[in-house]
Structure 1
Amino acid sequence: MKEDSSYLIKYTSSGLYCELADTWIDPIKPVKRALITHAHMDHFTFGCDEYISTYETAVIIKERIGKEINIKTYDYEKEFKINGIKISFHPSGHILGSSQIKFSLAEEIWLITGDFKRQKDETCKEYEIVKTDYLISESTFGLPIFKWDEPQKTASDITKWVNSSQEKTSILFCYSLGKAQRLLNEISKTNFINNIYTHSSIYRMNNCYKKLGIDIIETTKLEQTKNNSDLKGSLIILPPALNKSSSLKNFKDIQTGFASGWMSIRALRKRSGYDKGFSISDHADWIAILKTIKESKAKNVFFHHGESEALNKYLKEKNSINVLEFEFKK
């Protein structure tokens, strides 16, 4: 079914858009007013006149971009209105401050999940089940092959990987915001006894989380002048962008790993160039996406951000749900 002009949420060249509220959601271009689901930079655009988010998301964004912006904040579940449209943020479980966004007009409810996960994560609020008529769900890992292990198992695997190679320096690549803090929290529950060094971007986010009341274990900020011999047996956590960096040449006797949901695909692990792949994601897997759709009670579902063909086929065959597609609006 194609998108109808009467739909409350549309898809435009700038991203998801609520015309009646004249408001975009995670726009990809500068707009007048932007609702921001979370602080990852692929969901934030510079140059908008006004931003609206949760308090935690606003704090993290300001820390990341290093400057003041016009951003208004609301607590979770606190309803506010724009042009008569009722709007509220609800925890999505993705990272600290991340939100689903609920829109209500008369008796009709729309819910945009943003990026979300259903696994337990002590570094952010867990996903809140919200009933809705129309659901716009992310589907980054929307294939049956994706099924996440418990995060504590992954953390234990990382600890064993490091502790069994005391003669080497273990370098783990993962995203600086969200993934790094979650892994550190999980690793703290294992028998990890060595030093942990973190890149400056991760160290900064750790401190930001601490200021927002999240308990993160202490790490040492990695200094480029650090003597390599002092790092043997240690764990260094770096952002993925540094994997091909010339700075890695400064390290000797290293083993490398990458923590990502994509590492659950064996072929990708082999081609990745890392010595070890650890499968862990801050997005929902196949089962969690289907569970979320069912619990939302939505009769109409759109997919946004990711792989949706398999989900579309499955839902059409197995459930009495309308799987809709956005008709592009300029």
Structure 2
Amino acid sequence: MALLQFTEKGIFCERANVYIDPWKPVDYAIITHAHADHSRWGNKFYLCQHLSKPIIQHRLGSDIHIESMEYQEQRKINGVSFRFYPAGHIIGSAQVRVEYKGEVWVASGDYKLEDDGFSSPFEPIKCNTFITECTFGLPVFQWQDQKEVFNEINQWWKKNQDEGKVTFLTGYALGKAQRLIQGIDPSIGKIFTHGAIEKTNEIIRNIGIKLNPTTYVNPEINKSAYRGALVIAPPSALGTSWQKKFQPYEVGNASGWMKLRGTRRRRSLDRGFVLSDHADWDGLNSAIKATGCEKVIVTHGYTNIFSKWLNDQGIATQIEATEFEGEIMAETDKTEVE
């Protein structure tokens, strides 16, 4: 019997009778991070990294039964050891190390290798079996240094400011928005945020994490107050009456999907910036190599192509279906928009 199994409810450890990121309600759920496709409502008990706890409570309700652990703290359940290690994806994101009688599995959740200066940086973990996403598991997905991306965003904002326009930039409310807020030069002008983002900012600030100053978009503020400013909103705000109040504006999106030709055009964007909270092609391969694992299980993303590549490299690989969506889900999740 494998230490972890893929079932209709999620990734299951039968020995401990717990699930990792279940997509159907279960009694005991170990959660890698607070995004909606990994942290779902309806479980009787939740265990997460301590920075994720207040965010999950905000999303799912303060009355849920939830406990949290620090990175590398151990919890043993029926002889099985569980520990969290940083995944570098968003605040509080974690890989789950599972060990029983010397056998080690790692369920990595979503992760990225580039240190964004905000989330706890990814740490490779030696293991026998590594469960990995491959949201961007194609060679075309190669990320440039984030400093270069932020320089491009800053220059675009300055240009719009000189032309008397609002700079309207989209990124999902948890993770990407805060990365933008921290990476963009705040000396250029004022940064306004959509309500869903500002509520998340408030939670993050309340747990002691510093964010650059932001101002909630108040419908009662005179329209002229936004001219030359930067407005950060979830992608689902695009095309709404809420967005139109900021005219004249230019619209940009920060996402790994901006690497694909035609994506910007289909979304009616003026600019697209390639910035992802997921590992690129090189990152995926580097992470797998660093584990020294004997077997890889690939889940959401370009699973067929990526698993064939790994098999061709002599790495035993199998594909497992999940209900995780990676950045596809996060960039379109309507629950993150009010």
Q: TM-score scaled by structure 2?
A: 0.91
Match of 2:247 in 1: 252
The structure 2 residue matched to 1:262, chosen from 243, 257, 271, is 257
The unaligned stretches of length 5 or more in structure 1 are 1-5
Q: Once the 2 structures are TM-superposed, how far is the Cα of residue 309 of structure 1 from its aligned partner?
A: 1.9
The structure 1 residue matched to 2:206, chosen from 187, 211, 217, is 211
Q: 1:144 to 1:327 in 2, by over 3 A?
A: closer
Poorly superposed stretches of 4+, deviation over 6 Å: none
Q: Once structures 1 and 2 are overlaid, which stretch shifts more, 257-266 or 202-211?
A: 202-211
Q: In 2, distance between residues paired with 1:36 and 1:191?
A: 33
- Deviations, residues 182-235 of structure 1 (Å, cap 9, x unaligned): 111111xx3742111011221122222222232210011111122222211110
Match of 2:87 in 1: 92
The structure 1 residue matched to 2:16, chosen from 10, 18, 21, is 21
3-state secondary structure, aligned to 2:258? helix
Q: In 2, distance between residues paired with 1:308 and 1:327?
A: 9
3-state secondary structure, aligned to 2:67? strand
The structure 1 residue matched to 2:183, chosen from 150, 164, 186, is 186
Q: TM-score scaled by structure 1?
A: 0.93
The alignment-based identity, stated in percent, is 37
The structure 2 residue matched to 1:323, chosen from 307, 317, 325, is 317
Match of 2:66 in 1: 71
Q: In 2, distance between residues paired with 1:269 and 1:249?
A: 19
Match of 2:136 in 1: 141
Matched, 1:48 2:40: no
Kept in 1, the 8 Å contact 2:186–2:212? The answer is no
Q: In 1, distance between residues paired with 2:71 and 2:172?
A: 25
Matches within 5 A, 1:170-181: 170-181=167-178
Matched, 1:300 2:295: yes
Q: In 1, distance between residues paired with 2:61 and 2:228?
A: 34
Q: Once structures 1 and 2 are overlaid, which stretch shifts more, 190-199 or 55-64?
A: 190-199
Kept in 1, the 8 Å contact 2:45–2:65? The answer is yes
The structure 1 residue matched to 2:226, chosen from 205, 226, 231, is 231
Match of 2:329 in 1: none
Matches within 5 A, 1:153-168: 153-166=148-161, 167-168=164-165
3-state secondary structure, aligned to 2:269? coil
Q: 1:327 to 1:141 in 2, by over 3 A?
A: closer
Kept in 2, the 8 Å contact 1:110–1:132? The answer is yes
Matches within 5 A, 1:106-121: 106-121=101-116
Matched, 1:312 2:302: no
Kept in 2, the 8 Å contact 1:263–1:277? The answer is yes
Once superposed, what is the RMSD of the aligned Cα atoms?
1.5
Q: In 2, distance between residues paired with 1:244 and 1:32?
A: 40
Q: 1:32 to 1:65 in 2, by over 3 A?
A: closer
Kept in 2, the 8 Å contact 1:10–1:326? The answer is no
3-state secondary structure, aligned to 1:41? coil
- Deviations, residues 114-148 of structure 1 (Å, cap 9, x unaligned): 00000111211100110000000011111111011
Q: In 1, distance between residues paired with 2:35 and 2:319?
A: 25
Q: In 2, distance between residues paired with 1:115 and 1:258?
A: 20
Match of 2:237 in 1: 242
Matched, 1:80 2:75: yes
Q: Once structures 1 and 2 are overlaid, which stretch shifts more, 238-247 or 91-100?
A: 238-247
Kept in 1, the 8 Å contact 2:192–2:217? The answer is yes
Q: Counterpart of 1:185 in structure 2: which amino acid?
A: Q
Q: Counterpart of 2:174 in structure 1: which amino acid?
A: L
Match of 1:3 in 2: none
Match of 1:290 in 2: 285
Q: Counterpart of 2:98 in structure 1: which amino acid?
A: F
3-state secondary structure, aligned to 1:172? strand
Q: In 2, distance between residues paired with 1:101 and 1:199?
A: 32
Q: In 2, distance between residues paired with 1:287 and 1:327?
A: 23
Q: Once the 2 structures are TM-superposed, how far is the Cα of residue 327 of structure 1 from its aligned partner?
A: 8.4
- Deviations, residues 57-105 of structure 1 (Å, cap 9, x unaligned): 1111112334221011111101111121111110000011100001101
Q: In 2, distance between residues paired with 1:168 and 1:325?
A: 47
Q: Once structures 1 and 2 are overlaid, which stretch shifts more, 110-119 or 203-212?
A: 203-212
Q: In 2, distance between residues paired with 1:121 and 1:209?
A: 16
